[in-house]
Chain A
Amino acid sequence: MSADSDMEYSDNDGDEYDYYGEIDDCDMETVDQSKTDPEYFLFSCLRVEEVEKLLNESIELLSNNLQITPSLAKVILHAYEWNAQEIINRYKENANEVLIFSRVKPCVPTAPGTSTRTHCAVCANMPPLQSFSALTCGHSFCNDCWSMHFEVQIMQGVSNTIQCMAQECEVRAPEDFVLSHVTKPSLRERYQQFMFKDHVKSHPQLRFCPGPNCQWIFRAWVRQGPRRVECKGCELLTCFSCGAPHHAPTDCATIRLWLTKCADDSETVNYISANTKDCPKCQICIEKNGGCNHMQCGSCRHDFCWVCLGDWKCHGSEYYECSRYKEDPNLASDSQHAQAREALKKYLHYYERWENHARSLKLEEQTLASLKSRINQKVMAGEGTWIDWQYLWDSAKLLKRCRYTLQYTYPFAYYMDNGPRKELFEYQQAQLEAEIENLSWKVERAETTDRGDLENQMDIAEKRRTTLLKDFLDIHINNASSSKI
């Protein structure tokens, strides 16, 4: 969407729009962003070519320093997570250790004469001597077998970690050795693509944008705690540390727990909550599988009404009243079923809100799109320029940002222990939620409300958001590191 939005802003170019977007928070003051924005995180968003250049610099540095081929440098860098300086230092101390650790050399030297060069141990053929080749381990196989081996491995998506064909030999085949045996252009290309992906994945400073078909790559220097990075291409917000969607104030381990829980349980939970209730007498879980609301518990034979859970005997003519709904919920609350249902209720409480905000966020996208066309119409009709209506656009962007944070407060609260901190958190969460709903209301009616009023509301909502993040994001990171003492 960024491409066409740039188009629509023919009055001012894309950069300028960004400039306005940034400035509305700090209201013309030049403030250090790292202080005002609790989520501030230094990163860059790179193109594939830029990353290739970056990787090549490390490769060149290492191959020049150690006087080795670039292919070998790649194998070593991959093993040492691209820390070229560390490799150079260690190499000076003990070159052999570095080569063995990165599996350039075998840990035990192959005894000479173990691989006879009369026949190839893989295909059992007896090709001429000159069509044998071997890695540093000395295990000789015929070139046809090597190319078959590489073809099979590349087709399975293996690239950097292709190994020698000998039993229990872990020596890795460097790029030049592989390419000298692979002739098919499509296969060579595939291999090099996999190599690049593997290099980015093994590099601690790099991460692919997880957006579908997105080609951008993030670069940053810290991989701990929730770290917001925004893609230049698809605008997706990602956590640099773990690769999940950005999730402040929730930390990486918790969001993983939450997302798996939702993936595992949400369908089951939906079914259970929609189709089952506990028997009011014996608390056993009952599934409703027919239309009739007169239920008989299969376990204790208690007759009751599905709608109100009251005794069926009282339902004669006055069935539709079902006035007995306010039943004591503490009945036998220590039973296992009741506890399970209580846990389910708690989860559902958070899950429903989480889901609801996710849906609202999608609707907010639509608001954003329709707002853009409305502004365009105004500009075309001569009612001011884009600059005059910029505040509307900013308000919708801000609303989106606030709602995003709000969505991710729910998993945080779900896993929080009860106590004053949770009370404080939920208080702030409720405040944020209230201001966001106010803002949402005003944004939808933005053209008819007062601009000052709207901007005031924007300011309040953003303040609530940053306050919550300041209080819980930072402390949370500190807690995460100190609570393990």
Chain B
Amino acid sequence: MANIAAKRIKREIIEVVKGEEGVLKLELVNNAWTDLLGEIAGPPDTPYEGGLFKLEIKIPETYPFNPPKVRFITKVWHPNVSSVTGAICLDILKDQWAAALTLRTVLLSIQALLASAEPNDPQDAVVARQYIENEPLFELTARHWTNVYANGPTVVWEFNQKVQTLLEMGVDEHNARVALSTYNWDVEGATEQIFS
């Protein structure tokens, strides 16, 4: 079976390279055809615009009869992506997988997921709550994360300063950002949570 997997992966890499989207990348991590690195560009007119997001792709031995395991390596602030592990909540990676689907369609679907979040079926409950309760703040936070982790263009000075405040207290940068994002950028709330 691993035979089919290898053959498929070869074709799928060619398919992505040939593809005209210019927004996808797919490359091998080792020679075993089991670990791949994907990259997608943040879709335009979203808080992820201008960012490049790396994905870890693991091919099971039973591929393509079972879905690949995909997670974000680049940190993302999105209701359907875990801000801690990068795990993705997407139907085609679970029960809606079909053997005829390819990694190209998977990458495109993840890109589409970035453009249209589904907060009612969340992977990250904290992000989803912010999305529902305060969408402008969610967008700004997502933009800030895109800027910091995915080389996005929009710098949010206010947020950078708040992170800096916590850094001066000796808090790790990423932990500080997570705490601030979780507490809607309320420095007091975030500090309390970190030091409790």
Q: Mark A137-158, 1 if CB is under 8 A from B, else 0.
A: 0010100010011011100000
Q: B1 to chain A: which residues have CB within 8 Å?
A: 148
CB pairs A–B below 8 angstroms (29 shown): A121-B100, A122-B4, A122-B8, A122-B64, A122-B65, A122-B100, A123-B8, A124-B7, A139-B100, A141-B99, A141-B100, A148-B1, A148-B62, A148-B65, A149-B99, A151-B65, A152-B62, A152-B66, A153-B65, A164-B98, A165-B98, A165-B99, A166-B98, A166-B100, A167-B98, A167-B100, A167-B105, A168-B98, A169-B98
B11 at interface by CB-CB < 8 Å: yes
Interface centre among B8, B66, B99 (most CB of A within 10 A): B99
Query: In the complex, which of the residues B7, B8, B65 contacts A149, with contact meaning CB atoms closer than 8 Å?
Result: B65
Distance A141 CA – B64 CA, assembled complex (angstroms): 13
A122 touches B7 (CB 8 A): no
What is the chain B residue whose CB lies nearest that of A121?
B100
Please count the residue pairs between chain A and chain B whose beta carbons lie under 8 angstroms apart in the complex: 44
What is the chain B residue whose CB lies nearest that of A163?
B98
Q: B64 to chain A: which residues have CB within 8 Å?
A: 122
B101 at interface by CB-CB < 8 Å: yes
Mark out the residues of chain A between 168 and 201 whose CB falls within 8 Å of any chain B CB in the assembled complex: 168-169
Q: A151 to chain B: which residues have CB within 8 Å?
A: 65
What is the chain A residue whose CB lies nearest that of B101?
A167
Distance A82 CA – B96 CA, assembled complex (angstroms): 26
Distance A165 CA – B101 CA, assembled complex (angstroms): 9
Q: Mark B58-89, 1 if CB is under 8 A from A, else 0.
A: 00001011100000000000000000000000
Q: Mark A243-275, 1 if CB is under 8 A from B, else 0.
A: 000000000000000000000000000000000
Q: B62 to chain A: which residues have CB within 8 Å?
A: 148, 152
B7 touches A123 (CB 8 A): yes
Interface centre among B7, B64, B96 (most CB of A within 10 A): B64
Chain B residues at the A interface, C-beta cutoff of 8 Å: 1, 4, 7-8, 11, 62, 64-66, 96, 98-101, 105
Q: B105 to chain A: which residues have CB within 8 Å?
A: 167
Distance A122 CA – B101 CA, assembled complex (angstroms): 8
Q: B11 to chain A: which residues have CB within 8 Å?
A: 124
A336 at interface by CB-CB < 8 Å: no
State how many angstroms separate the Cβ of A287 from the closest Cβ of chain B. 18
Q: 14 new A-B pairs (CB below 8 Å) besides A124-B11, A153-B65, A168-B96?
A: A121-B100, A122-B4, A122-B99, A124-B7, A124-B8, A141-B99, A145-B99, A163-B98, A165-B99, A166-B98, A166-B100, A167-B98, A167-B105, A168-B98
Distance A466 CA – B64 CA, assembled complex (angstroms): 60
Q: Which 5 A-B pairs have the closest CB atoms?
A: A165-B99, A152-B65, A122-B99, A123-B4, A121-B100
Distance A149 CA – B62 CA, assembled complex (angstroms): 9
What is the chain A residue whose CB lies nearest that of B65?
A152
Interface centre among B11, B100, B105 (most CB of A within 10 A): B100
State how many angstroms separate the Cβ of B36 from the closest Cβ of chain A. 17
Q: A141 to chain B: which residues have CB within 8 Å?
A: 99-100
Distance A165 CA – B96 CA, assembled complex (angstroms): 10
Given A148-B1, A165-B98, also A125-B7 (CB < 8 A): yes
Q: Mark A9-30, 1 if CB is under 8 A from B, else 0.
A: 0000000000000000000000
Q: B65 to chain A: which residues have CB within 8 Å?
A: 122, 148-149, 151-153
Q: B66 to chain A: which residues have CB within 8 Å?
A: 152
Q: A149 to chain B: which residues have CB within 8 Å?
A: 65, 99
Distance A366 CA – B62 CA, assembled complex (angstroms): 51
Distance A121 CA – B98 CA, assembled complex (angstroms): 11
A148 touches B98 (CB 8 A): no
Q: A121 to chain B: which residues have CB within 8 Å?
A: 100
Q: A123 to chain B: which residues have CB within 8 Å?
A: 4, 7-8
Mark out the residues of chain A between 80 and 135 whose CB falls within 8 Å of any chain B CB in the assembled complex: 121-125
Distance A106 CA – B65 CA, assembled complex (angstroms): 21
What is the chain B residue whose CB lies nearest that of A152?
B65
State how many angstroms separate the Cβ of B103 from the closest Cβ of chain A. 13
Q: A165 to chain B: which residues have CB within 8 Å?
A: 98-100
What is the chain B residue whose CB lies nearest that of A151?
B65
What is the chain A residue whose CB lies nearest that of B12?
A124
Distance A212 CA – B85 CA, assembled complex (angstroms): 39
State how many angstroms separate the Cβ of B6 from the closest Cβ of chain A. 10
Q: B100 to chain A: which residues have CB within 8 Å?
A: 121-122, 139, 141, 165-167
Distance A139 CA – B105 CA, assembled complex (angstroms): 18
State how many angstroms separate the Cβ of B136 from the closest Cβ of chain A. 35
State how many angstroms separate the Cβ of B105 from the closest Cβ of chain A. 7
What is the chain B residue whose CB lies nearest that of A156?
B66
Distance A111 CA – B125 CA, assembled complex (angstroms): 41
What is the chain B residue whose CB lies nearest that of A115?
B100
